[in-house]
């Protein structure tokens, strides 16, 4: 059974909807800058959405006094946009699978600041939204999703695994329509955690460049609507033709230098779809800008494609690494790559890595014939996911 993509919605550092995101990608307008609203002592660029939580509540028509995690506040507008795009009106049987890496940590760490010095202080309602599933339940209840509701949390591969899980539900006849994707906010927990690993770049990240020095964190949400043919209310953008998850279990945080996990996930997605390497039009890489990830992913790309590597790029110099949201957001970009014939630029690239000599796409192009887009999302522990989007013939 084919799994079609009929709607997309996105919120990121380069735009609060699909149109704004696409305009920024086309014009090369990056969203990385020093934090404006997010409180951190680290002097590094981030992909921050400039709206405060109070502004997001006002925009979404939510009570100012209500305690809501930033995770939920970012997810809601992206889901609403995707639902409207797919022309869904009755959500009583629609399943919702969201992905996140930090859940309500933004509230928990605020609670802890008060609690650590005086255990009688702190608002417990903040801790109540700590669980990864809390933001999913909030959105589901707000919009009235009546089908299966669950949350995926597998670090930075979470969004990809959400898509794969939703596709399986449709393939096995367990759902007609599934909303899938991911969301993560900036928080001090992840900022300080990545800083302790010494992989935050003090400048704008440079994926696949020989001078790369680390990643920039970001925040946002991206969701797509998956449907079987009978549930479609509009012509689909494309279909999810393949997906795979692999775990090389090489290290708690690092990728294996030989790219075993990323090789298995990419080749597995292609095998499921019955698509040969020569048929791939574009690879939306994970491309974080760290020494280990880019070498591992680049090595796997060389292993699969040899000297005939298709156009590829990382969009993280635009939006930062959004953790569990990365494949949610980048799935939207991949879907629109097919729909608009677009390939996005890998900003800040100048010099190839000597180990692979790979040169990513550095200019935005559109009007291309894009039939198959391979989109990667790789997480801690070697949990690697790839999703293959294909044009509807």
How many domains is the chain built from? 1
Q: What is the pLDDT of residue 258?
A: 77
CA distance 129 to 103: 8
CB within 8 Å of 73: residues ≥ 6 apart: 53, 56, 57, 60, 62
CA distance 41 to 192: 9
Position 259 confidence tier, pLDDT thresholds 50, 70, 90: confident
pLDDT of residue 232 exceeding 80: yes
If we measure between CA atoms, which residue out of 334, 332, 330, 329 comes closest to residue 370?
334
pLDDT of residue 184 exceeding 70: yes
**pLDDT, mean of residues 354-374:** 97
CB within 8 Å of 109: residues ≥ 6 apart: 187, 188, 189
pLDDT of residue 116 exceeding 70: no
If we measure between CA atoms, which residue out of 242, 220, 169 comes closest to residue 323?
220
Pick the more confident residue, 112 or 372. Answer: 372
CB 366 within 8 A of CB 340: yes
Q: What is the pLDDT of residue 124?
A: 65
Instruction: For the beta carbon of residue 107, count every other beta carbon within 10 angstroms.
Output: 26
pLDDT of residue 57 exceeding 90: yes
- Residue 292: domain span: 4-390
pLDDT of residue 254 exceeding 90: no
pLDDT (tens digit, 9 = 90+) per residue, 298-335?
999 999 999 999 999 999 999 999 999 999 999 999 99
Angle at CA of residue 40, ends 381 and 139, nearest 5°: 65
CA distance 98 to 72: 11
**pLDDT, mean of residues 69-75:** 97
CB 48 within 8 A of CB 186: yes
CB 86 within 8 A of CB 227: yes
User: Torsion angle, CA of 247/185/312/25, rounded to 10 degrees?
Assistant: 170
CA distance 323 to 221: 10
**pLDDT, mean of residues 136-147:** 97
Q: What is the pTM of this model?
A: 0.96
Residue 250: CATH number of its domain: 3.40.47.10
Q: What is the pLDDT of residue 379?
A: 81
């Amino acid at each position: 059974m084919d799994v079609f993509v009929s709607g997309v919605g996105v919120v990121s550092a380069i735009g609060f909807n699909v149109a704004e995101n696409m305009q920024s990608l086309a014009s090369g307008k990056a969203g990385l800058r020093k934090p404006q609203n997010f409180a951190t002592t680290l002097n590094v660029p981030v992909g921050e959405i400039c709206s405060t939580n109070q502004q997001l509540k006002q925009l979404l028509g939510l009570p100012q006094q209500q305690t809501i995690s930033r995770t939920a506040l970012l997810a809601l507008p992206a889901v609403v946009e995707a639902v409207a795009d797919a022309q869904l009106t009755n959500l009583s049987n629609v399943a919702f699978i969201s992905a996140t890496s930090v859940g309500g940590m933004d509230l928990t760490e605020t609670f802890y600041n008060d609690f650590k010095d005086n255990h009688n202080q702190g608002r417990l309602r903040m801790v109540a939204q700590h669980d990864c599933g809390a933001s999913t339940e909030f959105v589901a209840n707000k919009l009235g999703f009546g089908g299966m509701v669950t949350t995926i949390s597998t670090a930075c591969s979470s969004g990809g695994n959400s898509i794969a899980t939703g596709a399986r539900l449709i393939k096995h006849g367990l759902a007609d329509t599934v909303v899938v994707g991911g969301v993560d906010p900036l928080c001090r927990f992840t900022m300080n955690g990545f800083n302790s690993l010494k992989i935050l770049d003090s400048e704008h990240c440079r994926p696949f460049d020989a001078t790369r020095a680390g990643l920039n964190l970001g925040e946002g949400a991206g969701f797509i609507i998956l449907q079987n043919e009978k549930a479609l209310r509009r012509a689909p953008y494309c279909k999810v033709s393949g997906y795979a998850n692999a775990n090389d279990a090489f290290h708690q945080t690092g990728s294996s230098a030989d790219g075993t996990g990323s090789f298995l996930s990419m080749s597995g997605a292609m095998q499921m779809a019955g698509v040969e390497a020569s048929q791939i039009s574009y690879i939306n890489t994970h491309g974080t800008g760290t020494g280990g990830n880019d070498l591992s992913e680049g090595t796997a790309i060389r292993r699969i494609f040899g000297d005939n590597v298709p156009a590829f790029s990382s969009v993280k110099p635009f939006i930062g690494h959004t953790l569990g949201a990365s494949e949610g957001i980048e799935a939207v970009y991949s879907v629109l790559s097919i729909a608009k014939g677009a390939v996005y630029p890998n900003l800040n690239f100048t010099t190839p890595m000597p180990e692979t000599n790979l040169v990513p796409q550095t200019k935005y192009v559109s009007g291309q014939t894009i039939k198959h887009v391979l989109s990667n999302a790789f997480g801690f522990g070697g949990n690697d996911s790839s999703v293959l989007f294909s044009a509807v013939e």
